[in-house]
Amino acid sequence: MPGNKTNNALISVVIPSYNEEGNIDKIASYVVEQLTKPEYPFEIIFVDDGSTDSTLEKLIQLNRKDARIKFLSLSRNFGHQSALIAGLDFAAGDAVISMDADLQHPPELLPKLISKWEEDYDVVYTRRKEDQELPYLKRKTSKMFYKFINIFSDIKLEPGTSDFRLMDKKVVSVIKELPENNLFIRGLIKWVGFKQYCIEYIPQKRNDGESKYSYRKMISLAISGVTSTSIFPLRIASVMGFIISIAAFGYSLVVLYDYYFTNKNLSGWTTLIIAILFLGGAQLITLGIIGEYLGKLLIQSKGRPKYIIKKTYEETRNQEYPA
Ligand code: UDP
Ligand code: MG
């Protein structure tokens, strides 16, 4: 019989939700259904990431019906990663599972994640198989996302790993204690180590509504994925500078030769303009890279919280049922 990892171990499921009014009830009931199988006590923690639809009202109703379904509501939209961290901070479980609200992460996998945890894996992460059903552009941009991170950072992410995973509480406490904001949890999970197991799955179509990851959010996630895990891009700048200097030295020999020994010294407008444009571009890129890291440093030095909580299920309960 399952359920003997430790007696009365608690499972937490964290679900960041941004304008998911059409998915909340469904995902909650599916997760409850799946979690009654492994016979562990559980809690579901929805994190309302500043939704402007009726997500929060739905969550309040769910919590009234079933006290195991809890929620936090953030004061504005802080983004998926911050919402996830808020949920981790709040989760009391011996194992914490994170998943999306839109049913793309199949709840049927939950018992399997838990059973791998019972086999003593500390992180059970998932990897989505390439799925022809997903829109072409989503597949392509997702591929580019992993390529970009793998080229420009020190960690190697397997394509298709998402934030659908189980973490033992000792991994959660390591992640929670990291002081850095602008987190890229997928990268951190690779970085922390521990005993990890990968499960593959076929993603489902989003149940209701549209993807909440705009292209802008995706690009910013990719950049923070790189800058928060490595300083490799800074090194590219020095390497580029080095190569250009060598080339410039070689070419200046050619120019000097022309000047002293031939009559060609007025030609070369094309070379000149190419050199100016190329160097200008290279310098701007380098400045941009340095700026990116400097900006991160500035934001970090302000020491602002990663998220702000507006309301939790506890307050709502007290408000609705005064003692
Ligand atoms: N999400 C969030 N805050 C955001 C964007 C997304 O909490 O600013 C949540 C969203 O509600 C969903 C999960 O993060 O539960 C993944 O988002 P989505 O399904 O839109 O991303 P996709 O699957 O298209 O990559
Ligand atoms: Mg989705």
- pLDDT, greater one: 3 or 139: 139
Distance 210 CA to ligand 1 centre (A): 9
Q: For 243-297, write each residue's pLDDT tens digit.
A: 888 888 888 888 888 888 887 766 677 778 888 888 888 888 888 888 888 988 8
Which residues, in sequence order, are CB contacts of 78 under 8 Å at separation 6+?
49, 50, 86, 306, 307, 308
- Please tell me the distance from the alpha carbon of residue 220 to that of residue 215, in angstroms, as a whole number: 9
pLDDT of residue 266: 67
Structure-block tokens of residue 309: 């909580």
CA distance 144 to 139: 9
Mean pLDDT, rounded, for 50-77: 93
3-state secondary structure of 81: helix
Instruction: Decide if pLDDT at 29 tops 90.
Output: yes
Query: CATH second-level architecture of 11-212+305-316?
Result: Alpha-Beta Complex (3.90)
What pLDDT shows up at residue 319? Answer: 60
Give the global pTM. Answer: 0.77
**Residue 323 pLDDT > 80, yes or no?**
no
pLDDT digits (tens, 9 = 90+) for 190-204: 888 899 999 998 878
DSSP states of 118-138 as a string? HTT-SEEEEEEPP-TTS-HHH
Q: Which ligand is nearest to the CA of 22?
A: 1
pLDDT at 321 over 70: no
* Residue 229 in this model has a pLDDT that exceeds 80: no
CA gap 296, 56 in Å, rounded: 32
How much is the pLDDT for 77?
Answer: 93
Please name which ligand lies nearest the alpha carbon of 163: 1
Return the pLDDT at 170.
Answer: 94
The pick from 15, 18, 58 for probing ligand 1's pocket by mutation, whose C-beta has the most ligand atoms within 8 angstroms, reads: 18
What confidence category does residue 136 fall into, taking pLDDT thresholds of 50, 70 and 90?
confident
- Return the percentage of the chain with pLDDT > 70, whole number: 93
Strands (E), the chain: 11-17, 42-48, 69-74, 95-98, 123-128, 161-168, 196-201, 309-312
Is it the case that residue 322 has pLDDT exceeding 70?
A: no
SS3 at position 57: helix
Q: How far is CA 243 from CA 249, 276, 282, in A?
A: 10, 16, 11
